[in-house]
Amino acid sequence: MASEFKKKMFWRAVVAEFLAMSLFIFISIGSALGFNFPVSSNETSTKTQDNVKVSLAFGLSIATMAQSVGHISGAHLNPAVTLGLLLSCQISILKAIMYIVAQCLGAVVATAILSGVTSSLPNNLLGLNSLSSGINAGQGLGIEIIATFQLVLCVLATTDRRRNDVSGSAPLAIGLSVALGHLLAIDYTGCGINPARSFGSALIANNFENHWIFWVGPIIGGASAALIYDFILAPRSSDLTDRMKVWTSGQVEEYDLEGDDMNSRVEMKPK
């Protein structure tokens, strides 16, 4: 871990996660708050939020940031995605921790700036995730698990280096997956699927009611997607020693598919 900590590329990746997360949060949550303008006589207009607009803003901003910094950090921009890639043995434990810290810090900074920009809005909760009327904690947790599951599964599948059948843009595919999650979950939980994004709003708005749902749900969803993809859908035959090497040293591993039949074993081989 110490050797990875000293590398310039390691810190460039961490900074990239912070910067991209800040831009992502400012753009996406800013689009969600924008329906309240213009403000007249200290009262908002009676417009209703356009869920399609907000979903596309979240999805397109993720796709844009992934295209911008994906070659530097992998553009996780989500602790649930980072956890999924950690369990999939694609990053080290140290990098995962630093990424999550950078993501949370980026979300807090962006939300704080957005708070200043939208200070004239009354009752401004800055995109705070909360359970809708009639939705209990268990139901909200289920929505968050499923929405995050499909996102992390999409990330793992579209970035799988063993595949040669992926055409088009991987960042766009992931962005559309984010938009899909929002189209599902906005009306139920406000759509968290990203603990750092939820944390930024909760901290600046100083409201942590049911906040645990927006950490536990995405963590379960992301971890489940990684385990199901790696051990059931597209299994890799790697022993604990190989995995420990990645988790501790950060060594990048390459997965190769040996054989042409569907029952071929997948071997994890160091570059």
Question: Would you say residue 24 lies in a domain?
Answer: yes
Nearest to 174 by CA among 61, 53, 52: 61
Residue 255 confidence class, pLDDT cut points 50, 70, 90: very low
pLDDT, tens only, 37-73:
665 555 545 566 789 999 999 999 999 999 999 999 9
Question: Would you say residue 258 lies in a domain?
Answer: no
Question: Would you say residue 209 lies in a domain?
Answer: yes
CATH number at residue 196: 1.20.1080.10
Question: Would you say residue 169 lies in a domain?
Answer: no
Looking at per-residue pLDDT, the higher value among 269 and 78 belongs to 78
Share of the chain above pLDDT 90, in %: 65
Which range is least confidently modeled, 78-82, 125-129, 195-199, 211-215?
125-129
Question: Would you say residue 263 lies in a domain?
Answer: no
pLDDT attached to residue 46? 55
What are the tokens at 226?
A: 């990684």
Question: Would you say residue 74 lies in a domain?
Answer: yes
How many distinct structural domains can be found in the chain? 1
Whole-prediction pTM? 0.86
pLDDT attached to residue 42? 52
Gap between the Cα atoms of 231 and 226, Å rounded: 8
pLDDT at 237 over 70: no
pLDDT attached to residue 271? 34
Question: Would you say residue 261 lies in a domain?
Answer: no
pLDDT, tens only, 136-153:
999 999 999 999 999 999
pLDDT attached to residue 36? 64
Question: Would you say residue 61 lies in a domain?
Answer: yes
The DSSP bridge partners found for residue 257 are 266
The boundaries of the domain holding residue 154 are 4-34+50-118+126-161+180-247
**126 residue type, one letter:** L
Nearest to 52 by CA among 140, 197, 179: 179
Q: What angle do CA 24, 112, 61 make, to 5 degrees?
A: 10
